[in-house]
Amino acid sequence: MRNKLLLVLPLFMTNIAIAGNWSTILDVEVYGDGNGNNQSPYSVTNGYNNTLTDIDPGGETRSSESSMVTGSGNYFGTGEWNSAFGNNNTVRGSIWTNGANIFGNSNSTNTAHSNTIGNNNTVTGTGNITIGNNSTVSGTNSISLGSNNSASNGGIAIGSNSTASRTDEVNFGDRQLTGILAGQADTDGVNVSQMNSKALEVLDDAKQYTDDTFEDAKSVANSYTDQKIYELLNDSTIDFSKDNAYTTGRINQLNKKLEKIQKEVNAGISSAIASASVPQKLGKQVSFGMGVGTYKNEMAYALGVKWGITKRVALGSSIAFNTQKDTSLSLSLAYGF
């Protein structure tokens, strides 16, 4: 049986209860059985055992006005312009909770300007969208697409069993995002192919830089060694006319000096290796690093910093300390095209 409660007269409105439906206000339409309307005019109810009510005890607000309900067991106690299509849905909130729409069953919402499609969803806040089942959505402008999701703080949960809880987060629930074009702008995403290509380019640059630095360090070390030996030979006067004991002593003295020089040379090479091995954190404007080098029982460690002054210009500096208590300092400048 279909029951309709609406009578328009030229000068005034009247209210008539028909076949199990009831209303305490004029200007309502009721189809079905067991439906109730408490002070919520301009509303339409179609189904069974639905209730629309003004949340103000005196019925003085515009609560639940201009609402539409189709189904059974639905309850409205909220603001204006809300709708529900399904069964056992609940819309609660203040008189400012307006424009909530539900399509499905057993959903609960107290959020304004929201849309819910599915079953057993709980929606709170403002301006949220829910499509799926058994999801919880809260905050402002949060979106859930899928079942068993949780979205809040303006986050977007895409796919079943996804959780987006951080502000403006997009969560795919451990899914792959495929078919992505290579990014161009600074804010674009990158695909795996683009990332691998850039990583190989950076690796090649790093290898070339290491090779060049090592060759420079080797050249400096050899020059330093030659100079030290030349100075030693010029400073050492060997008198072969003296006795064997004196000669042996001088030779031992020379050997000790050579050993000391060799240690200093080895330590110098260690310092060069340590400075060359200081890593750089790519993609950062300022990068601090530490390197360690060893060469023939001598060791050194270096501290370095890289500054990205602009997108094309970078400065670098490092200081190294070795086991012969020597200190070295290096400065570098890079310009990219």
- How do beta strands 313-322 and 298-308 pair? antiparallel
Name the H helices within 65-154.
Answer: none
Question: What angle (nearest 5°) sits at the alpha carbon of residue 211, between those of residues 306 and 276?
Answer: 35
Site of tokens 């996804």: 162
Average pLDDT for consecutive 10-residue bins of the chain (337 residues)?
33 43 81 87 91 74 81 89 93 82 94 94 95 97 97 96 95 89 84 84 84 81 82 60 66 82 84 80 78 85 85 84 84 78
At 174 the three-state DSSP class reads coil
Which pLDDT does position 58 carry in this prediction? 63
C-alpha to C-alpha distance for 233 and 197, rounded to whole angstroms: 54
Which pLDDT does position 59 carry in this prediction? 59
Side chain identity at 294, as an amino acid letter?
Answer: T
Threshold 0.85, pTM exceeds: no
At 305 the three-state DSSP class reads strand
The conformation of residue 182, written as its DSSP 8-state character, comes to P
Which pLDDT does position 203 carry in this prediction? 82
C-alpha to C-alpha distance for 33 and 20, rounded to whole angstroms: 5
Question: What angle (nearest 5°) sits at the alpha carbon of residue 72, between those of residues 66 and 75?
Answer: 50
CA 323 from chain centre, in angstroms, equals: 45
- Rounded to the nearest 5°, which phi and psi values hold at 267? -65, -40
Residues near 40 by Cβ (< 8 Å), separated by ≥ 6?
25, 28, 52, 53, 54, 63, 64, 65, 67, 76
Which pLDDT does position 243 carry in this prediction? 57
Side chain identity at 227, as an amino acid letter?
Answer: Q
C-alpha to C-alpha distance for 337 and 313, rounded to whole angstroms: 9
Residues near 280 by Cβ (< 8 Å), separated by ≥ 6?
287, 289, 306, 316
Under 8 Å between Cβ of 96 and 110: no
Which pLDDT does position 86 carry in this prediction? 96
Side chain identity at 108, as an amino acid letter?
Answer: S
Measured distance between the N- and C-terminal CA atoms of the chain, rounded to whole angstroms: 81
Identify the bridge partners of residue 145 per DSSP, sorted by sequence position.
131, 158
Side chain identity at 117, as an amino acid letter?
Answer: I
